[in-house]
Amino acid sequence: MPNRLNLQLDLWKADLAAEPAALATHAAPAVTSVADAAADELRAAYPKGPTGNLKGRVRVDRDPDADPAIAAAIVVSGAPHAHLYEDGTRYVRAHPTFYPITNRGGKDLERSVSAMVEARNFTVSGAID
């Protein structure tokens, strides 16, 4: 009788196919936490102004119908004049706030998710600044 090696590739493929959804479920709390923290930091950094719109219209959007393999939250500065505050005009200097805060949060999240992926015995490549 010949020796047989059963790699059970079907089981391995099924496990691998389920990995993105499992990782997204595992990463979702970190994604939500980073987005909420960035929104809170934006609210604290923006001036109140005469209407309070700049602070008051910062929100975190989540899509309840999103693909289960995607953990996502979007930080939004919804004030109609947010771009004027951020970029400035020829009369008012720029106050870059949104991107520095959200980029820092994104890097923190990237490190956290990379650690989660490595903990699941995958290799993560590419530089994280």
Q: Domains of the chain: which residue ranges?
A: 24-119
List the chain residues with pLDDT less than 50.
none
Is the model's pTM score more than 0.85?
no
Q: How many angstroms separate the CA atoms of 119 and 69, rounded?
A: 18
Inter-residue contact 54 to 82 (CB < 8 Å): yes
Q: Could you tell me the two tokens for 110?
A: 């990237």
| SS3 label, residue 126 | coil
CB 84 within 8 A of CB 20: no
pLDDT in tens, 8-36: 677 777 777 778 888 888 888 999 999 99
